[in-house]
């Protein structure tokens, strides 16, 4: 288990008291009685009935019968990790939160990533929002930043949340489809609630299919409030900016991964941490003085709106590093309980009606999910700050409260625990008055302007992906009037978008061009994101006779760049290299599909390539990598495999006799004839850093 900090932080030291290890132990009952036989129940004679008095049998079965707890009503599927957060420099000007004011403090955290709609056992790579929930174990108590990887939400008022979730979850009559938004009820909801349109643009974009949890942004979504020691408030939007940049999977790839490796994102998180490639994110803040509250053409309290980064820059204020996998999924990742109301002094709420509803919901949901009010005592949830109050009893009470008085005020326990004092939480003093009404503010009325902003900000290939996503999703909707209704809304976002979607789903394209705007926000596009070869996986396809020289040269350079290189052959073990040595095989091809790698290298070696050419799995491996726009590299005879896989529309080394025999790099396909040198390796690393080559023409690839 990776734990570079050892037990070096307060949270890990606290958890250590609860860890139970099997080494050198004997099997006992829950009462500590050593068991002599756990395979045969106590019975009357060898063929007779089982006896009630078999306390071990009864305890074992009963405990098993009660192993399950309700899964989360949303965000059921998740993966978690521990880490730490450090602020770069004091933010005391804005907040009194100690962990944001003292750069010498390393605050332990637990983060849980999740999908929203699917059950606990559903696939990771479905089109969905990703949860990004962070629990900071600060010395002033727990702060939970319960965010998503998209900066807006489907609805403006939390009272609609049950309706939205009922619509997106599997349909009630047949519980179909699992973890999919491509079905009638969701799109019926969307069509009747146009406030969803901005979020639907994000959901139909590549943001909904992240390559890795380490390659997606996080957002607090709502406008929160920072409060400094003088009581001055500043509006704030929280962001997480991944050090590896924002990168996504190809849609076809996600669907295949859902079958071939449903744990793809979870496994990637686990493996990255075990390999020492710790996911890192910078905390970003958009800070808005209170006097600027009404400066925007939208309402800061409306969670369907972003504050464009070009209008209010994101200030990077600290670094989050995830460096320790949990010991036990259930104990930690399943039982972790987030709550938006867990704030520390210096952080407060706003009147965003979605946030207000969440402030109620999260505590309520933990009570049913974790079986009573003492879930805060479960090890993963316990603050590292001291807890003292008069809360008593309840299911699973772990504390033994001493003393006579469990009430405030008391004199019998010396008035303790005492109230107030320095560092006590005080709520921001906001003046509020008004009539009791059920009415949405007029300032929340524009449902299309920022959907258009998002669309305008996309590159051509990103727009192409969005159109395909709408066509796929609406193409699965049976009710044609629902399809048509959504297209009408899309026409309010962008006419071209609406026409293209309509043409793909058998709906009459809208004729009327609605007036929109042409503003964009470059920060919304994934083009130009930072890239890295770190934590990328490269497959090397080999057979008997492969050229080990190329593998060595490329392998060393890629490993140096932080990538994971795996050698794949038809069978486990090793293959003979062209020079008579042996090449160790990391995995057998049937267990290592193309979709689980970021790039592929085919070394030379005439015999080896002849074997690969005759093997459908190997040809398919390359064709699929090409279709999914991944870097592909081949040397000498290996280039023949690319030709067989119909890597079309790119220039290959030595393809026409007039071209030189050196390195040819075209759209992420890197080939060379002759010995592998630094140029070949550099081109491959550069292609990896660019992540995918989305502009490739792939429609003719049959993979």
Catalytically annotated residues: 75, 148
Residue among 133 and 653 whose Cβ is closer to ligand HDE? 133
Residue among 240 and 621 whose Cβ is closer to ligand HDE? 240
Residue 273 C-alpha from the chain's centroid: 15
For 685-702, the DSSP string reads HHHHHT---TTS--TT--
Among residues 100, 642, 110, 524, which one has the least CA distance to residue 325? 110
Binding residue (CB under 6 A) for ligand HDE from 15, 126, 221, 684: 221
Site for ligand HDE contains 74 (CB under 6 A): yes
Q: What is the closest distance, in whole angstroms, from the C-beta atom of residue 122 to ligand HDE in the complex?
A: 14
Q: What is the closest distance, in whole angstroms, from the C-beta atom of residue 22 to ligand HDE in the complex?
A: 28
Residue among 186 and 336 whose Cβ is closer to ligand HDE? 336
Q: What is the closest distance, in whole angstroms, from the C-beta atom of residue 150 to ligand HDE in the complex?
A: 8
For 99-157, the DSSP string reads GGT-TT--EEEEEEEEESSS-TTS-TTSSS-EEEEEEEEETTEEEEEEEESSSS-S-SS
Site for ligand HDE contains 239 (CB under 6 A): no
Q: What is the closest distance, in whole angstroms, from the C-beta atom of residue 209 to ligand HDE in the complex?
A: 17
How many CB atoms neighbour CB 700 within 10 A? 9
Q: Is there a contact between 556 and 567 (Cβ–Cβ < 8 Å)? A: no
Q: What is the closest distance, in whole angstroms, from the C-beta atom of residue 537 to ligand HDE in the complex?
A: 26
Rounded distance, CA 311 to CA 104, Å?
A: 32
Counting residues that bind ligand HDE (by CB under 6 A) gives 24
Residue among 335 and 611 whose Cβ is closer to ligand HDE? 335
Residue among 341 and 606 whose Cβ is closer to ligand HDE? 341
Binding residue (CB under 6 A) for ligand HDE from 108, 118, 131, 245: 131
Q: Is there a contact between 350 and 224 (Cβ–Cβ < 8 Å)? A: yes
The full length of the chain comes to 703
Binding residue (CB under 6 A) for ligand HDE from 82, 136, 161, 278: 161
Rounded distance, CA 87 to CA 320, Å?
A: 9
Binding residue (CB under 6 A) for ligand HDE from 148, 185, 526, 532: 148
Residue among 42 and 73 whose Cβ is closer to ligand HDE? 73
How many CB atoms neighbour CB 26 within 10 A? 6
Q: What is the closest distance, in whole angstroms, from the C-beta atom of residue 202 to ligand HDE in the complex?
A: 12
Q: What is the closest distance, in whole angstroms, from the C-beta atom of residue 360 to ligand HDE in the complex?
A: 8
Q: Is the dihedral of CA 175, 181, 183, 186 positive or negative?
A: positive
Q: What is the closest distance, in whole angstroms, from the C-beta atom of residue 468 to ligand HDE in the complex?
A: 26
Residue among 85 and 213 whose Cβ is closer to ligand HDE? 213
Site for ligand HDE contains 196 (CB under 6 A): no
- The piece of 93-101, 145-153, 274-282, 690-698 that touches ligand HDE (CB under 6 A) is 145-153
Q: What is the closest distance, in whole angstroms, from the C-beta atom of residue 398 to ligand HDE in the complex?
A: 20
Residue among 129 and 486 whose Cβ is closer to ligand HDE? 129
Binding residue (CB under 6 A) for ligand HDE from 108, 118, 147, 194: 147
471 Cβ neighbours under 8 A, 6+ residues apart: 501, 504, 505
36 Cβ neighbours under 8 A, 6+ residues apart: none
Rounded distance, CA 53 to CA 467, Å?
A: 66
Site for ligand HDE contains 75 (CB under 6 A): yes
Residue 491 C-alpha from the chain's centroid: 31
Q: Is the dihedral of CA 634, 635, 641, 645 positive or negative?
A: positive
- The piece of 141-149, 311-319, 440-448, 628-636 that touches ligand HDE (CB under 6 A) is 141-149
Q: Is there a contact between 118 and 363 (Cβ–Cβ < 8 Å)? A: no
Binding residue (CB under 6 A) for ligand HDE from 87, 126, 146, 670: 146
Q: What is the closest distance, in whole angstroms, from the C-beta atom of residue 533 to ligand HDE in the complex?
A: 30
Site for ligand HDE contains 114 (CB under 6 A): yes
Q: Is there a contact between 578 and 546 (Cβ–Cβ < 8 Å)? A: yes
Q: Is there a contact between 470 and 181 (Cβ–Cβ < 8 Å)? A: no
In terms of C-beta distances under 8 Å and separation of at least 24 residues, what long-range contacts does 387-391 make, across chains too?
388/416, 388/417, 389/417, 390/417
For 562, the token pair is 């932080």
Rounded distance, CA 681 to CA 687, Å?
A: 10
- The piece of 72-80, 372-380, 560-568, 675-683 that touches ligand HDE (CB under 6 A) is 72-80
Residue among 153 and 213 whose Cβ is closer to ligand HDE? 153
Q: What is the closest distance, in whole angstroms, from the C-beta atom of residue 226 to ligand HDE in the complex?
A: 17
Site for ligand HDE contains 153 (CB under 6 A): yes
Site for ligand HDE contains 455 (CB under 6 A): no
Q: Tell me the C-alpha to C-alpha distance, in Å, between residue 303 and each of 3, 152, 339, 352.
A: 38, 6, 18, 7
Give me the residues paired with residue 286 across strands. 237
In angstroms and rounded to an integer, the radius of gyration of the C-alpha atoms of the chain is 28
Among residues 195, 250, 275, 216, which one has the least CA distance to residue 445? 195
Rounded distance, CA 609 to CA 565, Å?
A: 19
Label residue 529 exposed, middle or buried (CB < 10 Å: 0-12, 13-18, 19+). middle
Binding residue (CB under 6 A) for ligand HDE from 112, 127, 324, 465: 112
Residue closest to ligand HDE (Cβ): 131
Binding mask 545-584 for ligand HDE (x = CB under 6 A): ----------------------------------------
Binding residue (CB under 6 A) for ligand HDE from 97, 133, 650, 672: 133
Label residue 71 exposed, middle or buried (CB < 10 Å: 0-12, 13-18, 19+). middle
- The piece of 66-74, 226-234, 287-295, 578-586 that touches ligand HDE (CB under 6 A) is 66-74
Binding residue (CB under 6 A) for ligand HDE from 73, 367, 385, 606: 73
Q: Is there a contact between 35 and 56 (Cβ–Cβ < 8 Å)? A: yes
276 Cβ neighbours under 8 A, 6+ residues apart: 2, 4
Q: What is the closest distance, in whole angstroms, from the C-beta atom of residue 21 to ligand HDE in the complex?
A: 27
- The piece of 74-82, 170-178, 393-401, 515-523 that touches ligand HDE (CB under 6 A) is 74-82
Residue among 348 and 683 whose Cβ is closer to ligand HDE? 348
- 532: alpha, beta or left, given left = phi > 0 and alpha = psi -120 to 50? beta
Restricted to residues 314-373, the positions that interact with ligand HDE (CB under 6 A) are 336, 338, 354, 357-358, 361-362, 365
Binding residue (CB under 6 A) for ligand HDE from 11, 56, 72, 77: 72
Residue among 148 and 491 whose Cβ is closer to ligand HDE? 148
Residue among 158 and 638 whose Cβ is closer to ligand HDE? 158
Label residue 454 exposed, middle or buried (CB < 10 Å: 0-12, 13-18, 19+). buried
DSSP symbol at 93: T
Question: What residues make contact with ligand HDE under the rule CB under 6 A?
Answer: 72-75, 78, 112, 114, 131, 133, 146-148, 153, 158, 161, 221, 336, 338, 354, 357-358, 361-362, 365
């Amino acid at each position: 288990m990776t734990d570079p900090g050892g037990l070096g932080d307060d949270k890990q030291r606290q958890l250590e008291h609860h860890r139970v290890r099997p080494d050198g132990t004997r099997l006992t009952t829950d009462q500590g009685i050593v068991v002599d036989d756990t395979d045969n129940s106590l019975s009357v004679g060898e063929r007779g009935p089982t006896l009630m008095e078999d306390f071990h049998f009864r305890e074992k079965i009963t405990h098993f019968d009660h192993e399950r707890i309700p899964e989360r009503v949303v965000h059921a599927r998740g993966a978690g990790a521990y880490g730490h957060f450090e602020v770069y420099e004091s933010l005391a000007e804005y907040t009194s939160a100690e962990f944001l004011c003292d750069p010498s403090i390393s605050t332990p955290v637990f983060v849980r990533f999740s999908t929203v709609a699917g059950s606990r056992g559903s696939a990771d790579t479905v089109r969905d929002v990703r949860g990004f929930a962070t629990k900071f174990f600060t010395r002033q108590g727990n702060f939970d930043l319960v965010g998503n990887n998209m900066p807006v939400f489907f609805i403006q008022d939390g009272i609609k949340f049950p309706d939205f979730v009922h619509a997106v979850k599997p349909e009630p009559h047949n519980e179909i489809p699992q973890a999919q938004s491509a079905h009638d009820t969701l799109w019926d909801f969307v069509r009747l609630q146009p406030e969803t349109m901005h979020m639907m643009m994000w959901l139909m974009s590549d943001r909904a299919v992240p390559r890795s949890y380490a390659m997606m942004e996080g957002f607090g979504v709502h406008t929160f409030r920072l409060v400094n020691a003088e009581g001055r408030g500043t509006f704030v939007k929280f962001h997480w900016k991944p050090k590896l940049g924002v990168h996504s999977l190809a849609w076809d790839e996600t669907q295949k991964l859902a079958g071939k490796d449903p744990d793809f994102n979870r496994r990637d998180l686990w493996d990255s941490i075990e390999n020492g490639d710790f996911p890192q994110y910078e905390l970003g803040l958009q800070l808005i003085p209170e006097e600027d509250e009404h400066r925007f053409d939208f309402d800061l309290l409306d969670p369907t709106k972003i504050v464009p980064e070009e209008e209010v820059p994101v200030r990077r204020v600290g670094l989050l590093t995830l460096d320790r996998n949990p010991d036990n999924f259930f104990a930690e990742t399943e039982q972790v309980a987030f709550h938006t109301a867990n704030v520390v002094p210096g952080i407060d709420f706003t009147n965003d009606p979605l946030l207000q509803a969440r402030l109620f919901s999260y505590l309520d949901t933990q009570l049913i999910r974790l079986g009573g009010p003492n879930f805060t005592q479960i090890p993963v949830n316990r603050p590292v700050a001291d807890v003292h109050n008069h809360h008593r009893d309840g299911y699973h009470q772990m504390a033994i409260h001493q003393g006579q008085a469990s009430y405030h005020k008391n004199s019998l326990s010396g008035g303790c625990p005492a109230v107030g004092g320095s560092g006590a939480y005080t709520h921001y003093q906001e003046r509020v008055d008004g009539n009791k009404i059920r009415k949405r503010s007029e300032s929340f009325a524009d449902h299309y302007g920022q959907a258009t902003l998002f669309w305008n900000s996309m590159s051509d290939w990103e727009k192409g992906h969005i159109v395909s996503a709408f066509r796929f999703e609406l193409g699965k909707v049976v009710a044609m009037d629902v399809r048509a209704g959504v297209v009408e809304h899309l026409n309010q976002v962008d006419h071209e978008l609406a026409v293209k979607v309509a043409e793909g789903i058998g709906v009459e394209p809208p004729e009327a061009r609605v007036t929109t705007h042409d503003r964009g926000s470059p920060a919304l596009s994934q083009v130009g994101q930072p890239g890295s070869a770190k934590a990328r996986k490269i497959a090397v396809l080999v057979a008997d006779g492969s050229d080990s020289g190329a593998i060595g040269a490329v392998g060393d350079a890629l490993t140096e760049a932080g990538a994971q290189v795996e050698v794949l052959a038809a069978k486990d073990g090793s293959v003979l290299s062209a020079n008579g040595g042996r090449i160790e095989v990391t995995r057998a091809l049937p267990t290592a599909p193309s979709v689980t790698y970021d790039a592929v290298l085919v070394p030379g070696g005439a015999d080896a390539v002849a074997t690969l050419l005759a093997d459908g799995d190997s040809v398919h491996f390359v064709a699929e990598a090409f279709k999914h726009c991944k870097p592909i590299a081949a040397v000498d005879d290996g280039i023949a495999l690319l030709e067989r896989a119909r890597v079309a529309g790119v220039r290959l080394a030595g393809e026409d006799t007039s071209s030189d025999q050196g390195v040819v790099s075209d759209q992420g396909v890197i080939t060379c004839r002759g010995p592998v040198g630094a140029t070949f390796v550099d081109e491959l690393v550069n292609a990896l850093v660019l992540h995918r080559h989305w502009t490739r023409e792939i429609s003719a690839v049959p993979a």
